[in-house]
């Protein structure tokens, strides 16, 4: 649903840009009118981009897996802070998450329900920083 909202916002931006350019070219309204039109465009974009409840939602990342394996995955910069692995709810196909710790020189791991896990949290912002092992195709929604 969020992708659909972003798409609608992009359409509003494009239409507003065309309207402002056309009005500027033909000089049919005063500068105040252009400023009002720009403000209305930003209000429309904000309304289309925000969730239906009117409150900000936590960042969400969907990791998609198409076959068994251990592909690299990352979380975007919008994930600020740490996400404790104890709060994650992976699908049953997820077998574990691995991260190489450069300071310790060893792999940290988390496997759902396994004792002795050394990976305590996920952090956003690093490209392909985690390896996620699966036994089959699935989608995993990771939210902060």
Residue 60 parent element (H or E) = strand 60-65
Quote the mean pLDDT of the chain: 76
Q: Is the pLDDT of residue 130 over 70?
A: yes
Q: What are phi and psi of 122, to 5 degrees?
A: -105, 145
Give pLDDT, residue 55. 47
Q: pLDDT, tens digit, for every residue of 89-103? A: 999 999 999 999 888
Listed by start position, the domains of the chain span: 2-49, 60-143
H or E element, residue 94: strand 94-101
Q: Please give the average per-residue pLDDT across 20-30, as a whole number.
A: 60
Mean predicted confidence (pLDDT) in 55-59? 56
- Give 95-141 as a DSSP string: EEEEEEETTTTEEEEE-TT-TT----EEESS-TT-EEEEESS-EEEE
pTM: 0.57
Average pLDDT over residues 10-18: 64
């Amino acid at each position: 649903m969020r992708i659909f909202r972003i798409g609608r916002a992009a359409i509003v931006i494009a239409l507003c840009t065309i309207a402002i350019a056309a009005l500027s070219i033909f000089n049919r309204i005063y500068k105040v009118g252009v400023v009002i039109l720009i403000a209305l465009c930003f209000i429309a974009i904000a309304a289309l981009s925000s969730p239906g409840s009117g409150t900000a939602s936590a960042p969400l990342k969907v990791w998609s897996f198409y076959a068994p394996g251990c592909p690299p995955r990352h979380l975007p910069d919008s994930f600020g802070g740490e996400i404790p692995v104890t709060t994650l709810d992976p699908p049953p196909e997820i077998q574990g998450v691995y991260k190489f710790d450069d300071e310790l020189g060893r792999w940290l791991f988390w496997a759902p329900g396994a004792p002795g896990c050394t990976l305590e949290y996920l952090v956003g912002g690093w490209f392909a920083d985690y390896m996620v092992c699966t036994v089959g195709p699935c989608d995993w929604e990771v939210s902060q």
